[in-house]
Homo-oligomer: A and B are copies of this chain.
C-alpha cells in the first residue's frame, strides 16, 4: 500500500534545494579544524561546555544530538588533551560536571573566531537588507524545525477510561488559569469527571494528547443541544501550558473534525471568549467563520464569541458540497495515527 498521496506546499521544493546546499556547504567549509587540532565534534563540544554551566556528559550528548557513547569518548579525548576537566563530583557522585581549563577557553576562542569569520565572509558581500532577510528567514525556519521536533514527541489518541482523572485535572487547571471558573462555564459541567463515558461514540468523541505516557491536553465533540441534528459542537479543548505554542492545537482540531465528519455531522460549531485571542486565531486558521450569535442551547452563557465550519465528510458533501479546505483536511487525515504533526499554529485553551 502506498503512503497517502500528499500535496506539499509550493515552498517545499525551493526550501529543500536551498537547505541541501547549506548543509553541504557548511559541511565542506567547516570540515576539520586542522589548524586547531580539533574534530568537529570536539569543537562543538567545547563550545557547548563553554555555554553551559555544570554540563554533564549525558547532557552534552543531548545538546549535540550525539550518542552518549560518542559524547563520552569526545570528552575523554578533550580531558586527555587538557582542554576540559571534570569538576568536583557534588552530592551525587555519578554526575561529573564538565568545565573548560584555561587552555580550553583559549582554544574555544579560536573555534569561535573561525566560525564567526566564516559566516561573516559569507554575509559581508550582501547589503544590509539582504543580511537581515537571511538572518530572519533562517531563524524562522530553525524555530519551525524545533517546534516540529518537539511536536513529534506527542501522540493523539481517543480517550480511555484510565485518562478520566488526568483529563479532569487538566480542565480544572486550565479554566482556573484563565479565570473561567464562575457560573456559566464548562468547568461546572457534571461530565468533567467522567469524560470517557460522556463522549463515547457514536455521535461524540474525545481525543487526548499524550507525551511519554502523560496526558497533557485534549478536545472532543458532541451533539449540539437544542440545535440541528447535523451540527456538532467542539467541546472542551484544553492544553497544559507546556503543550502550547508547538502547533499541536491544529493537529488535535483536525483529528476531532475528522471524527465528527465520520460520525455524520456536516457542521462543527463552537463557543469561546473574545478575550482568548490565540484560541480564536487557531479557529480562524482552521477555517472556522465567526457567527453573529450562538446556536442551540449549551447553557454556557459566559461565552461571547461563536464560530462554525462545514466539515469535509459525506454529510457535508450532501448538505453543502465540500470546500477546498475540507477536502485538504480529509486528504491528510488518512495517515496512520495522525501523531505526526503537519499543520497548526499556536494552541490555546478554549472554554465551551
A residues whose Cβ falls under 8 Å from a Cβ of B: 3, 6, 8-9, 11-19, 21-29, 64-65, 110, 113, 115-127, 130-142, 144-149, 247, 250, 340-345
Contacts and interface: CB of A to CB of B under 8 A. Distances in A.
Given A22-B138, A126-B144, A138-B138, 19 more contacts: A8-B116, A11-B123, A11-B131, A13-B116, A16-B119, A17-B142, A19-B119, A21-B145, A21-B146, A22-B142, A23-B23, A25-B142, A25-B145, A27-B65, A121-B340, A123-B144, A125-B250, A127-B345, A137-B140
B137 A29 contact: no
Contacts of A120: 6, 8-9, 12, 342
A29 B136 CA distance: 22
Contacts of A121: 148, 340-342
Interface residues of chain A: helix, strand, loop or mixed (majority): helix
A113 B118 CA distance: 33
Greatest chain B CB density within 10 A among A11, A23, A113, A131 is at A11
Stoichiometry, as copies per complex, reads: 2
Contacts of A132: 11
A138 B139 contact: no
A131 B11 CA distance: 7
Nearest to A116: B8
Nearest to A44: B20
Contact of A144 (B64, B125, B146): B125
